[in-house]
Amino acid sequence: MPDQRVADGVLSRMVATGTEELIFASDPDSGLQAIVVIDDTTLGPALGGVRMHPYSSEHEAMTAGLRLSHAMTMKAAAAGLDLGGATALVLASPDKEKSEALLTATGRVLSGLSDRFIAVNDVGTTSEDMLVLQRAGARICTRDPSSFTAEGVVESMKAIWKSIEASTSLKGVRVAVQGIGNVGERLVGLLATEGAVVTAADVDRRRAETVATKYGVMAVDAEELLDLECDILSPCAMGSVVTFESIRRLRCRAIVGAANNIVESPGVEDLLAKSGIVYAPDFVTNAGGLIGLENELLGNDDDEARRRVHEISGRVRAVLEETEHGGGTTIDAARRIALDRLRMHRVRRHT
Ligand code: NAI
């Protein structure tokens, strides 16, 4: 029995969210069930994570796809990149169902979209999986962009710290890093070099301790991190870290991280703005990885990527200025900047 809630009102939902294309794909031989969302190609071909996850319903997957692909559009627009936003969701468990046949079928679907969809690995997929997609005709990026992401987060911290203490030096600044994965580990290393006082936490306590020992910083239990008194909290694990519940625990002066959608909802955005904690919007601070990927597509060297990643501090400053002049939260201001750029390109495209 098809899920009626998915089919009903899909087009009007696309109109409301401004989504360009929504593609439902299935392949009975491999068992593929996938939803591809191309949110916007105004600025260029859309870059999208290929996520493999056992969503509990098609409706849940579609909602996640619309949100993720739009976030990618906003990130590219805010970072000044000539890329759009997309995502491909494969409704399967990566541990139990991932197979060469499933990935090849996904690649075949994306091959038909290769003029406007560029695939990168995301939750549940690896860069090796992307090579299977490529063999089936998909256009892909393979590079792990985590080091560029971490560098962009450090640049953002410097801009935010300057707005708080009139200094771009992170020496002695107390930074609590949540999630010591690909980005978190590199971030801890960079912050240690800057002389920041770093505390690291990961649900995998051993991992946090190993990295802490390597860089001479402290490690605490993951549950303790949000209660820690610090200058900057840096969520580098999952989204929705700042919620109506968790906001009461926070004892930081600023939040600057790599995770996507750090603030749970617009209501929490308002509360956070009123709390006096300075929030650097994640889609601005974590754009370093996307800059690195665009650099790969353009065939530029790493120095060029690094130069552009360093421009993120200026973009964070622009967000703070726009917040002061245009009002609302820092997230509202960053959205205005991104949407303005999209609007200008659309006007140019139609004239
Ligand atoms: P990852 O999967 O390598 O690392 C995440 C780490 O967080 C893992 O070590 C995990 O054990 C830990 N973790 C999960 N829940 C936690 C919790 N509640 N408390 C403490 N630790 C927890 O991921 P990666 O690549 O480092 O990315 C981190 C975040 O940044 C993700 O949300 C990702 O979507 C986002 N991001 C990553 C980019 C990149 O270049 N890798 C680019 C832009 C965003």
Say if residue 113's pLDDT is above 90.
Answer: yes
Q: How far is CA 336 from CA 74, 111, 179, 201, 341, in A?
A: 10, 34, 30, 34, 9
Q: What percent of the chain has pLDDT over 90?
A: 90
- pLDDT number for residue 238: 87
Strand partners, 84: 46
Question: Residue 125 and residue 175: Cα distance in Å, rounded?
Answer: 30
- Residue 349: pLDDT band with limits 50, 70, 90: confident
| pLDDT level of residue 6 (50, 70, 90 thresholds) | low
Measured distance CA(239)–CA(254) in Å, rounded:
17
- Show the tokens assigned to 260: 């996507």
CB of residue 42 inside a 6 A radius of ligand 1: no
The model's confidence at residue 123, banded by pLDDT at 50, 70 and 90, is: confident
Mean pLDDT (whole number) for 60-68: 92
Distance 183 CA to ligand 1 centre (A): 7
Q: Is this prediction's pTM over 0.85?
A: yes
Per-residue model confidence as pLDDT tens digits over 224-267: 999 999 999 999 998 899 999 999 999 999 999 999 889 999 89
Percent of the chain surpassing pLDDT 70: 98
Residue 290's closest CA among 77, 132, 91?
77
Residue nearest to atom 10 of ligand 1 (CA): 179
CB of 204 shorter than 6 A to ligand 1: yes
Q: Measure 141 CA to ligand 1 centroid, in angstroms.
A: 19
- Do 160 and 316 meet the contact criterion of CB atoms below 8 Å apart? yes
pLDDT at 140 over 80: yes
Chain Cα centroid distance, residue 152:
12
CA of 237 to the centre of ligand 1 (A): 3
User: Which residue puts its alpha carbon closest to atom 3 of ligand 1?
Assistant: 181
Q: Whose CA is nearest to atom 39 of ligand 1?
A: 146
Task: Say whether pLDDT at 37 is over 90.
Answer: yes
- 253 C-alpha to ligand 1 centroid (Å): 22
What pLDDT shows up at residue 290? 96
Those residues whose C-beta lies under 8 Å from the C-beta of residue 233, and which sit 6 or more positions away, are 175, 176, 178, 225, 226, 250, 252, 254, 255, 256, 257
Q: 286 in ligand 1 pocket by Cβ < 6 Å?
A: yes
Is residue 142 very low, low, confident or very high in pLDDT (cuts 50, 70, 90)?
confident
Q: How far, in Å, is the centroid of ligand 1 from the Cα of 153?
A: 13
- Of 139-148, 174-183, 188-197, the one with minimum mean pLDDT is 139-148
Between the alpha carbon of residue 71 and those of residues 68, 84, 106, the distances in Å are 5, 10, 22
147 lines ligand 1 (CB under 6 A): no
Side by side, which strands form the sheet with 32-40?
A: 21-27, 32-40, 84-91, 46-53, 117-121, 139-140
Within the chain, what is the greatest distance between any pair of CA atoms?
61
Distance 238 CA to ligand 1 centre (A): 6
Ligand 1: does its nearest atom lie under 6 Å from the Cβ of 287? no
Does residue 260's CB lie within 6 angstroms of at least one atom of ligand 1? Answer: yes
* Distance (Å) from CA 11 to ligand 1 centroid: 33
Backbone torsions φ then ψ of 44, nearest 5 degrees:
160, -175
pLDDT band at 9 (very low <50, low <70, confident <90, very high): confident
If we measure between CA atoms, which residue out of 289, 285, 288, 231 comes closest to residue 263?
285
In the reported structure, the alpha carbon of residue 29 is separated from the centroid of ligand 1 by a whole-number distance in angstroms of 33
pLDDT at position 4 is 56
Residue nearest to atom 20 of ligand 1 (CA): 202
pLDDT at 347: 85
Instruction: List all residues 6 or more positions away from 195 whose beta carbon is below 8 Å from its beta carbon.
Output: 169, 170, 171, 172
Smallest CA separation from ligand 1 atom 40, residue? 146
Cα dihedral sign, 99-65-178-335? positive
**2: pLDDT strictly greater than 60:** no
> From atom 25 of ligand 1, which residue's Cα is the shortest distance away?
182
Kind and range of the H or E run holding 215: helix 205-215
CA distance 62 to 69: 11
Q: What is the pLDDT averaged over residues 141-155?
A: 94
- For residue 238, the ligand 1 atom closest to its alpha carbon is 32
Token reading at 69 = 């692909």
CA distance 8 to 14: 12
Residue 201 CB neighbour total at 10 angstroms: 26
Ligand 1 atom closest to the CA of 204, numbered from 1: 11
